[in-house]
C-alpha cells in the first residue's frame, strides 16, 4: 500500500562552491541535520523520509540525523550536470521496487535551506491537501517590477519589459515571486506526467528571507552563521 508522502533529502558529495557543505557543521550540527530535525518536528502522518546521497560518509551522518538511507545514488545521478528530476525518478524506482506502487506525493527538501521550519513543512502539506492543486512550491518575494529587471546587450542595460516606464516606488510595485529552493511538494502523478516540479496548478508558499536562505557560497554560509548568532533562528 502506498504511503502518502515520500520525502527526499538530496545530498550529493561533489559540491564545488562550498566543499562538503551538506555535512559542514552549522550551529554545531551537520547542515543536513537541520532539515532532518525540522522534518521530525513536523511529525507528518503517513510519511517516509529518505536521504539520497552518493557517499557512505554522508549516508552515516544522515542515518545519525534520523533519515532512512536505503541506497546510494549512482554517480551518474550525482554529477554537476545531473538533474533533480533524474534523482527523484531514481528514488521513486527504489520505492516502487519495495512497495509496488507510487506514493501519492513527493516532497523535496534540500539541505541547503536549513531554516525552513517544521511549520512550513506542515503548511505545504495542508495546502496541497485542502486545495485543488498539483504542487506547492516555496517562493520568496522580489520587490521588483519587470520594468526594473534588465539584460545586458552590447554592454548596456536593456529592460526586459520596455512597454512601460520604469517603476521604482515600492508602492507601485506588485512583488514578483521566485522559487527559493526550500520546498517542493508535488503530486506524483503530475510530476511523472509533466516531468516538472511546476505542473499547471502550482501554488506558491511565500517564505521570508531567513526561511528562504539557500546556502551555496561562503557568503551564504556567513549569513547563516550570523542569523544563528543573532538568535533569529534556533
Assess whether pLDDT exceeds 80 at residue 219.
Answer: yes
The model's pTM is 0.90
Q: Which residue, among 172, 65, 158, has the nearest Cα to 109 in the 3D structure?
A: 65
* φ/ψ bin of 71: left (φ > 0), alpha (ψ from -120 to 50), beta (otherwise): beta
Question: How confident is residue 137, by pLDDT bands cut at 50, 70 and 90?
Answer: very high
Rounded Cα distance between 229 and 222, Å, is 10
Question: How confident is residue 115, by pLDDT bands cut at 50, 70 and 90?
Answer: very high
Assess whether pLDDT exceeds 90 at residue 127.
Answer: yes
CATH number at residue 52: 3.90.550.10
In-domain check, residue 153: no
> Could you tell me the CA-to-CA distances from 48 to 145, 190, 214 in Å, in that order?
40, 20, 24
- Interacting residues of 28 by C-beta distance below 8 A, sequence separation 6+: none
Rounded Cα distance between 21 and 24, Å, is 5
Angle, helices 31-42 vs 56-64, to 10°: value is 40
* Residue 166: predicted pLDDT: 66
In-domain check, residue 221: yes
In-domain check, residue 68: yes
Assess whether pLDDT exceeds 70 at residue 1.
Answer: no
* Residue 148: predicted pLDDT: 76
In-domain check, residue 87: yes
Residue 223 parent element (H or E): helix 218-229
Please count the structural domains in the chain: 1
The larger pLDDT score, comparing residue 169 to residue 222, is at: 222
Residue 45 structural domain: 5-139+179-229
In-domain check, residue 13: yes
In-domain check, residue 47: yes
Percent of the chain at pLDDT above 90?
Answer: 76
In-domain check, residue 60: yes
pLDDT in tens, 138-189: 999 987 777 778 889 988 888 887 776 666 565 566 778 999 999 999 999 9
In-domain check, residue 160: no
Cell of 17: 562552491
Cβ pair 152, 221 in contact under 8 A? no
Amino acid at each position: 500500500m502506498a504511503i502518502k508522502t515520500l520525502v527526499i533529502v538530496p545530498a550529493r558529495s561533489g559540491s564545488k562552491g562550498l566543499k562538503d557543505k551538506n555535512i559542514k557543521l552549522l550551529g554545531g550540527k551537520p547542515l543536513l541535520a537541520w532539515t532532518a530535525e525540522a522534518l521530525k518536528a513536523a511529525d507528518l502522518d503517513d510519511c517516509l523520509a529518505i536521504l539520497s546521497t552518493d557517499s557512505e560518509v554522508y549516508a552515516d551522518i544522515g542515518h545519525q540525523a534520523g533519515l532512512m538511507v536505503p541506497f546510494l545514488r549512482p554517480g551518474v545521478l550525482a554529477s554537476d550536470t545531473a538533474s533533480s528530476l533524474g534523482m527523484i525518478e531514481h528514488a521513486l524506482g527504489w520505492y516502487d521496487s519495495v512497495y509496488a506502487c507510487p506514493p501519492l506525493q513527493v516532497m523535496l527538501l534540500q539541505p541547503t535551506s536549513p531554516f525552513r521550519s517544521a511549520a512550513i513543512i506542515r503548511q505545504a502539506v495542508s495546502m496541497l491537501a485542502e486545495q485543488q492543486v498539483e504542487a506547492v512550491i516555496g517562493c520568496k518575494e522580489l520587490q521588483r517590477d519587470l520594468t526594473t529587471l534588465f539584460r545586458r546587450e552590447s554592454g548596456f542595460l536593456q529592460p526586459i519589459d520596455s512597454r512601460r516606464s520604469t517603476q521604482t516606488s515600492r508602492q507601485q510595485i506588485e512583488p514578483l515571486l521566485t522559487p527559493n529552493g526550500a520546498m517542493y511538494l508535488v503530486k506524483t502523478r503530475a510530476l511523472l506526467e509533466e516531468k516538472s516540479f511546476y505542473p499547471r496548478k502550482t501554488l506558491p508558499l511565500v517564505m521570508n528571507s531567513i526561511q528562504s536562505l539557500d546556502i551555496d557560497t561562503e557568503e551564504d554560509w556567513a549569513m547563516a552563521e550570523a542569523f544563528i548568532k543573532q538568535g533569529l533562528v534556533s
